[in-house]
Amino acid sequence: MRKRGTPPEKEDYAWVLDYLPYGSTTDKRPAYQKKPLVQAVGDKHFVLMELVPKEGANPQIQSRVYIGDGDRDEIDHVKHRIHYPELSHGAQLELPHVLEECVSHQEEKFVKFFNDAHPITTRLHMLELLPGIGKKLMWAIIDERKRGEFKNLKDLHDRVGGVHTPEKVIVNRILEELKDDNIKYRLFTVPMHRPKND
């Protein structure tokens, strides 16, 4: 969980969810005035955003593109962050698949989450925020990791019977956080609006 008041690191890479050659459907300008747009999700903090591709570029859906400082191949610049409902229908359908790719791409980060997760309050543990993990499964994970840290997500699955697909559990939590701007606890994402004192 992110400490309050600390600004998140910038995203350097994003995964393409949809390529809109005629721009956003909410843009009411005539077609000839609209520019192509890419809807994407950040690689580290799962920030939803719209990107402006370079002229002539046609980024492929589910491809990972560089958006950091320096020379970019396909993306001209990041236009802005967007909310989940602003994603096109196609982007919303792609998002779970792309998130699974993100999770497997940075498996170590999520294994570390299962190894390091701790109580948030006296009654609530970080693990309980994951869909499908209640008290019984939470204690099974905690007891098992005392015997040795989990090496990867397959190791977690093999050692704790109730966690059938850890990748999907993580993806479902990320989706919950992206769909609800007012969610109380964020494990993997950053809120849309930062506090003014940042």
Q: Which of 99, 42, 46 is nearest to 68 (CA)?
A: 42
The residues spanned by each domain of the chain are 13-94, 106-179
Chain centre distance of CA 177: 9
For residue 106, pLDDT beyond 70: yes
- Torsion angle of alpha carbons 85, 86, 90, 93, nearest 10°? -30
**What's the whole-number average pLDDT of the chain?**
89
Given a cut of 80, whether residue 193 has pLDDT beyond it is no
Per-residue pLDDT for 67 more than 70? yes
The predicted model scores a pTM of 0.88
Please list the helix, strand and coil fractions of the chain in percent, rounded to the nearest 5, in that order. 35, 15, 50
β-strands 48-53, 13-20: how paired? unpaired
Q: Which architecture does CATH list for 106-179?
A: Orthogonal Bundle (1.10)
Q: Classify 13-94 by CATH class.
A: mainly beta
Q: Identify the CA nearest to 41 among candidates 56, 32, 51.
A: 51
What residue type is assigned to position 192 of the chain?
M
Confidence of residue 56 (pLDDT cuts 50, 70, 90): confident
pLDDT of 126: 97
pLDDT at 156 over 50: yes
